[in-house]
Chains A and B, each alone.
Chain A
Amino acid sequence: MIAAVADAVTDAVPQRTLGRVQRTLTYLVILLMCLLTAVPLYVMLLVAFQPTGAVFSGGDLHIIPQTISFENFTELLTETDALTYTYNSIVVTVGVMVLATTIACISGYILTRFEFRGKTAFSRSILLSYMFSGIVLAVPFYILFQSLGLLNSHFALVLGLTALLSPLNIWLMWQYFETVPISLEERAWIEGASRWRAVRDVVLPIARPGIVTAAIFSFSAGWNNFLLAQIVLSDSEMYTLPVGAALLLGRDAGWETAMSVSVLICIPPFLIALFFQRYLMLGINIGESG
């Protein structure tokens, strides 16, 4: 099969002529890569759409499902707090996306266009903060939020996540704004645009891929975070999806329930993976280039 595929794509290899052995190896590696990533995901989907209890009733798991059942999902939505968790997660995620992205844009622009004392120290401290264990930071956050009377609120979680996320996001936007030539802004000023209008009409549209990437990072932090949410939120009414899901699993829910919660949590990230791949790659690269 591999050979057949290989023959079919020979003309898709433009300049690089691959040896037969090398080509076969390449296909094997890519096949391995696809299998390794896809199989666990497939298993997750498979189990999630099995009737409740199917997994334990004697290894009835087939590679191609015999039945497809939405039982787990209806159970999840009607008998658990999954909807509340989802709502909470959306609130927190949107909050982090708005706050963290805004802060990243403003700070990134200032870092790009102005000189001030401590700029170097600031950029170095970004790396430093990266080396500090998140768990140790959780307690000061707890104390901080306690003294501010913000414990058990989504606002506190948004603040904390934004703080944890800001170094990376600011770095990203800083690097991105650096790629917008200052002469574009200067031209806009000379053409009569105010500073703000030049930013709105010229800088932000050009930096859009960077902004989208920062927003995706923020999304990821808001949607996926477990540790901080677990520490800041005490009331199960306030739980986000990951914390809620862990709670569900802790109650010895069946594998089907676990997998259907997983599928639920995975929908937004998967949509992002499908539609924003280009931005994500860009973000990963810029985030690393520092």
Chain B
Amino acid sequence: MRERLGADRFRWESPVLLLGKVALALFVGFAMLMWLFPILYGFWASVHENVVASAQFVGLGNYADVIAHDLFWKALNNTVVFAVVTTLTSVGLGLLFALAVNQGIRGGSLARTLILFPYLIPTVVIAFLWQFMLNQNTGVVNELLVGLGVLDEGIRFFGTTEWAMPAVIAMSTWVYAAFAFFILLAQLQSIDGALYERATVEGANAWEKFRDITYPHIRTTLLLVVFLRGIWLFNHFDLIFIATRGGPINETLTIPLLIYRLIFREFSYGQGAALGSLLFFLLAVGAVVYFKLLDRGEVGAG
């Protein structure tokens, strides 16, 4: 370990360096134990059977079992639908809101404070709240739709196979739009106002300003938000688990919920770990492809 001041080693700073080294060692130890160990253990378990009692090496057997599992393809399909659609809706809505608030009109700061609340509410509460909102009999949404004459009678959103996934996506969007909103708003605010003034002088309309000034400025951030949110949603568990437990009839069962089922219902940690590792590899490959495409796009655009 070296001091970063011009990459020097300070003889007379050695007590400090020693302290630094001790802190680093402690930290690395903690990270290894609490952070690296679970991941490595997960990989290890994915190629073993009967992990907890007397582990036996089974190679890729768990992976084969998992892929052959009745629900694997359904779960994968659900996960992709959930993650992709929620990413698009939440980032899209976040961008729309950010653009509106960035116009600097009154009411914007109220909206900015309000949108923070859904983001901070514990998952459990969100699930309660939306179960109530979308309830067939007492739900505000159904009441509104029936009242407006759109529906004759209320829908059990979380309870019907065709509506469960849209309901879960709507609920997730409600929460995660705030995330994209704040990041994109900050990015928008960093754009030099003089650019817009110049564009106005040069006769650009609103769309042209967005296309030629706003979008290029937020592009990198936008793509990064999409990436991070996307990955995160692929691994997302709490909200769906509490709201629907994967039902009805596995209609909202995603891979993380299937992992949970494998581990805690079918008591096969090996298969659960294999599925988790599989998801990890898929995401890693996805990440590499995503960034490769981005790089190419960058070159093409530049």
A contacts B: CB pair < 8 Å: yes
Q: A43-B132, A182-B5 are in contact. Are A9 and B30 (CB under 8 A)?
A: no
Are B39 and A129 closer than 8 Å at their CB atoms?
A: yes
Residues of A within 8 A of B148 (CB): none
B:107-124 near A, CB below 8 Å: 107-108, 110-118, 120-124
Which of A9, A195, A258, A284 is B105 in contact with, Cβ under 8 Å? A9
Most chain A CB neighbours (cut-off 10 Å) among B38, B104, B113: B38
Residues of A within 8 A of B36 (CB): 125
B138 at the interface (CB under 8 A from A): yes
Q: B273 at the A/B interface (Cβ < 8 Å)?
A: yes
- A33–B114 touching, CB < 8 Å: yes
Q: Which of B16-24, B59-67, B70-78, B160-168 contacts A (4 or more CB under 8 A)?
A: B16-24
Indicate with 1 or 0, residue by residue over A1-36, a CB within 8 angstroms of chain B CB atoms: 000011011001111111100110011011101101
Instruction: Confirm or deny: B130 has a beta carbon within 8 angstroms of a beta carbon on chain A.
Output: yes
Q: Which of A74-82, A204-212, A270-278 contacts B (4 or more CB under 8 A)?
A: A270-278
Give Cα A239–Cα B133 distance, bound, in whole angstroms.
27
Task: Type the 1/0 row for A24-57, where 1 means its CB is closer than 8 Å to any CB of B.
Answer: 0011011101101111110110010000000110
The number of residues on chain B lying at the interface, defined by a beta carbon within 8 Å of a beta carbon of chain A, is: 99
- With A26-B100, A37-B118, A262-B125 known to touch, is A166 a contact of B206 (CB < 8 Å)? no
Query: Max chain B CB contacts within 10 Å: which of A15, A40, A110, A281?
Result: A40
Say whether B273 contacts A136, CB under 8 Å.
yes
B-contacting residues, A88-108, CB 8 Å: 103, 106-107
A70 at the interface (CB under 8 A from B): no
Closest Cβ of chain B: how far from A125's Cβ, in Å?
8
Chain B residues, Cβ within 8 Å of A8 = 106
CB–CB A137/B183 < 8 A = no
* Minimum distance in angstroms from A250 CB to a CB of chain B: 10
B247-273 residues at the A interface, CB under 8 angstroms: 255-256, 259-260, 263, 269, 272-273
List residues of chain A with CB within 8 A of the CB of B121. Answer: 262, 265-266, 269
Report B286 CB to chain A, min CB distance, Å: 9
* In the complex, chain B residues 181-215 whose Cβ is within 8 Å of any chain A Cβ: 182-183, 185-186, 193, 196-197, 200, 206
Report Cα–Cα, A12/B115, bound state, in Å.
22
User: Contacts A37-B115, A40-B174, A132-B276: A17 and B122 contacting too (C-beta < 8 A)?
Assistant: no
Candidates B31, B114, B183, B259; contact of A133 at CB < 8 Å? B259
> What's the least CB distance linking B123 to chain A, in Å?
6
Do A131 and B114 contact each other (CB < 8 Å), given the known contacts A220-B120, A281-B186, A284-B179? no
Complex A-B: 23 CB contacts under 8 Å: A8-B106, A15-B197, A16-B104, A23-B103, A37-B114, A37-B174, A44-B132, A56-B138, A113-B3, A130-B231, A131-B287, A132-B276, A133-B256, A136-B273, A139-B42, A167-B35, A226-B238, A227-B237, A255-B132, A258-B128, A265-B122, A277-B116, A285-B182
Going nearest first, the 6 A-B pairs with the smallest beta carbon separation are A136-B276, A163-B34, A140-B38, A269-B120, A29-B100, A140-B41
